[in-house]
Amino acid sequence: MILPVSYTINLEFDKTKVWSILSKREHLNLFHPFCKKNIAYSWNKKSREDSLEYLNGVKLHRNFFEWNEGSGFKLIIGRKDGKKSKVIWEVKGEKNTTVKITVYPHILSGKNKLIYLFAYIFVIRPGLKKYLKSVLLGLEWYLKNQKPIPNNQFGSHKWFSLAD
Protein backbone atom coordinates (compact mmCIF):
# COMPACT_ATOMS: atom_id res chain seq x y z
CA MET A 1 0.00 0.00 0.00
CA ILE A 2 1.66 3.17 -1.22
CA LEU A 3 -0.60 6.21 -1.12
CA PRO A 4 0.26 9.13 -3.43
CA VAL A 5 0.64 12.76 -2.37
CA SER A 6 -0.14 15.56 -4.85
CA TYR A 7 -0.02 19.30 -5.07
CA THR A 8 -1.34 21.51 -7.90
CA ILE A 9 -0.69 25.15 -8.75
CA ASN A 10 -2.40 27.41 -11.27
CA LEU A 11 0.07 29.71 -13.01
CA GLU A 12 -0.73 32.88 -14.93
CA PHE A 13 1.81 31.93 -17.59
CA ASP A 14 1.25 30.13 -20.87
CA LYS A 15 2.06 26.45 -21.16
CA THR A 16 4.93 27.03 -23.62
CA LYS A 17 6.74 29.30 -21.14
CA VAL A 18 6.20 26.90 -18.23
CA TRP A 19 7.33 23.90 -20.27
CA SER A 20 10.45 25.75 -21.45
CA ILE A 21 11.56 25.95 -17.80
CA LEU A 22 10.56 22.41 -16.78
CA SER A 23 12.25 20.82 -19.77
CA LYS A 24 15.59 22.61 -19.29
CA ARG A 25 18.69 20.69 -18.33
CA GLU A 26 19.34 21.16 -14.57
CA HIS A 27 16.05 23.06 -14.17
CA LEU A 28 15.88 22.55 -10.40
CA ASN A 29 18.79 24.98 -9.96
CA LEU A 30 16.40 27.72 -11.13
CA PHE A 31 13.32 27.22 -8.97
CA HIS A 32 13.72 24.52 -6.30
CA PRO A 33 14.02 26.29 -2.91
CA PHE A 34 15.76 23.33 -1.22
CA CYS A 35 18.15 22.49 -4.08
CA LYS A 36 21.85 22.96 -3.44
CA LYS A 37 22.84 21.43 -6.78
CA ASN A 38 21.05 19.78 -9.73
CA ILE A 39 23.51 18.07 -12.09
CA ALA A 40 22.46 16.39 -15.35
CA TYR A 41 24.30 13.23 -16.38
CA SER A 42 22.26 12.74 -19.51
CA TRP A 43 19.72 15.14 -21.00
CA ASN A 44 18.62 14.30 -24.54
CA LYS A 45 15.69 12.69 -26.37
CA LYS A 46 16.88 9.15 -25.56
CA SER A 47 17.77 9.57 -21.91
CA ARG A 48 17.27 12.02 -19.08
CA GLU A 49 19.06 11.41 -15.82
CA ASP A 50 20.29 13.77 -13.12
CA SER A 51 21.03 14.17 -9.44
CA LEU A 52 19.59 16.49 -6.85
CA GLU A 53 21.59 17.53 -3.81
CA TYR A 54 19.48 19.18 -1.12
CA LEU A 55 20.62 22.00 1.16
CA ASN A 56 21.23 19.47 3.96
CA GLY A 57 23.57 17.39 1.76
CA VAL A 58 21.15 14.53 0.95
CA LYS A 59 21.78 13.39 -2.64
CA LEU A 60 19.12 11.69 -4.75
CA HIS A 61 19.30 10.30 -8.26
CA ARG A 62 16.50 10.99 -10.77
CA ASN A 63 15.84 8.76 -13.77
CA PHE A 64 13.14 9.98 -16.17
CA PHE A 65 11.33 6.99 -17.66
CA GLU A 66 8.56 8.77 -19.56
CA TRP A 67 8.75 12.13 -21.33
CA ASN A 68 5.63 13.68 -22.85
CA GLU A 69 6.85 16.76 -24.70
CA GLY A 70 4.89 19.82 -23.61
CA SER A 71 2.69 18.01 -21.10
CA GLY A 72 4.80 16.34 -18.43
CA PHE A 73 7.10 13.54 -17.40
CA LYS A 74 7.51 10.64 -15.01
CA LEU A 75 10.60 9.78 -13.04
CA ILE A 76 12.00 7.58 -10.33
CA ILE A 77 13.91 9.30 -7.52
CA GLY A 78 15.96 7.90 -4.67
CA ARG A 79 19.40 7.12 -3.40
CA LYS A 80 21.55 5.46 -6.04
CA ASP A 81 21.31 1.99 -4.46
CA GLY A 82 18.26 2.58 -2.25
CA LYS A 83 14.50 2.51 -2.47
CA LYS A 84 12.90 4.73 -5.09
CA SER A 85 9.79 6.88 -5.24
CA LYS A 86 7.79 7.55 -8.39
CA VAL A 87 7.08 11.18 -9.32
CA ILE A 88 4.67 12.44 -11.99
CA TRP A 89 4.70 16.02 -13.29
CA GLU A 90 1.63 17.07 -15.32
CA VAL A 91 1.34 20.35 -17.26
CA LYS A 92 -2.10 21.37 -18.58
CA GLY A 93 -3.80 24.42 -20.04
CA GLU A 94 -2.74 26.97 -22.63
CA LYS A 95 -2.90 30.64 -21.55
CA ASN A 96 -3.04 29.81 -17.84
CA THR A 97 -1.20 26.64 -16.92
CA THR A 98 -1.86 24.08 -14.22
CA VAL A 99 1.12 22.11 -12.94
CA LYS A 100 0.57 19.08 -10.73
CA ILE A 101 3.20 16.96 -9.02
CA THR A 102 2.24 13.54 -7.65
CA VAL A 103 4.65 11.50 -5.53
CA TYR A 104 4.29 7.81 -4.72
CA PRO A 105 6.62 7.67 -1.71
CA HIS A 106 8.61 4.55 -0.87
CA ILE A 107 8.91 5.53 2.80
CA LEU A 108 7.87 2.61 4.97
CA SER A 109 6.55 0.68 1.97
CA GLY A 110 6.39 -3.00 2.80
CA LYS A 111 6.05 -2.33 6.52
CA ASN A 112 3.09 -2.98 8.79
CA LYS A 113 0.00 -1.41 7.16
CA LEU A 114 -1.24 0.19 10.36
CA ILE A 115 2.15 1.75 11.12
CA TYR A 116 2.41 2.92 7.49
CA LEU A 117 -1.06 4.49 7.60
CA PHE A 118 -0.28 6.31 10.85
CA ALA A 119 3.07 7.55 9.49
CA TYR A 120 1.43 8.52 6.18
CA ILE A 121 -1.33 10.60 7.82
CA PHE A 122 0.82 12.36 10.42
CA VAL A 123 4.30 12.55 8.86
CA ILE A 124 4.58 11.62 5.17
CA ARG A 125 1.56 13.40 3.67
CA PRO A 126 1.97 16.72 5.52
CA GLY A 127 5.75 16.77 4.93
CA LEU A 128 5.43 15.98 1.23
CA LYS A 129 2.56 18.46 0.73
CA LYS A 130 4.68 21.25 2.24
CA TYR A 131 7.63 20.20 0.07
CA LEU A 132 5.61 20.02 -3.18
CA LYS A 133 3.94 23.36 -2.44
CA SER A 134 7.36 25.00 -1.97
CA VAL A 135 8.68 23.51 -5.23
CA LEU A 136 5.68 24.70 -7.24
CA LEU A 137 5.68 28.13 -5.58
CA GLY A 138 9.37 28.22 -6.53
CA LEU A 139 8.45 27.59 -10.16
CA GLU A 140 5.97 30.47 -10.02
CA TRP A 141 8.54 32.70 -8.30
CA TYR A 142 11.11 31.96 -10.99
CA LEU A 143 8.63 32.65 -13.80
CA LYS A 144 7.81 36.04 -12.24
CA ASN A 145 11.37 37.08 -11.28
CA GLN A 146 13.50 35.41 -13.98
CA LYS A 147 16.38 34.71 -11.59
CA PRO A 148 17.30 31.65 -9.49
CA ILE A 149 15.26 31.30 -6.32
CA PRO A 150 16.88 32.00 -2.93
CA ASN A 151 17.34 29.03 -0.60
CA ASN A 152 14.34 28.32 1.65
CA GLN A 153 12.34 31.10 -0.05
CA PHE A 154 9.08 29.89 1.52
CA GLY A 155 10.52 28.63 4.79
CA SER A 156 12.79 25.72 5.63
CA HIS A 157 11.86 22.05 5.48
CA LYS A 158 12.91 19.60 8.18
CA TRP A 159 13.75 16.88 5.61
CA PHE A 160 15.73 18.96 3.10
CA SER A 161 17.06 22.17 4.67
CA LEU A 162 20.01 22.63 6.98
CA ALA A 163 19.23 22.26 10.66
CA ASP A 164 18.44 25.61 12.31
Query: Mean pLDDT across the chain, nearest whole number?
Result: 93
Q: Is the pLDDT assigned to residue 158 strictly greater than 70?
A: yes
Q: How confident is the model at residue 56 (pLDDT cuts 50, 70, 90)?
A: very high
Average pLDDT estimate for 91-110: 87
Distance from C-alpha of 100 to C-alpha of 72, rounded to nearest angstrom: 9
Q: How confident is the model at residue 118 (pLDDT cuts 50, 70, 90)?
A: confident
CATH topology of domain 5-145: Alpha-D-Glucose-1,6-Bisphosphate; Chain A, domain 4 (3.30.530)
Q: Is the pLDDT assigned to residue 39 strictly greater than 70?
A: yes
**Residues comprising the chain, all counted:** 164
3-state DSSP helix/strand/coil % of the chain, to nearest 5: 25, 35, 35
- Supply the pTM of this predicted model: 0.94
Q: So where are the chain's domains?
A: 5-145
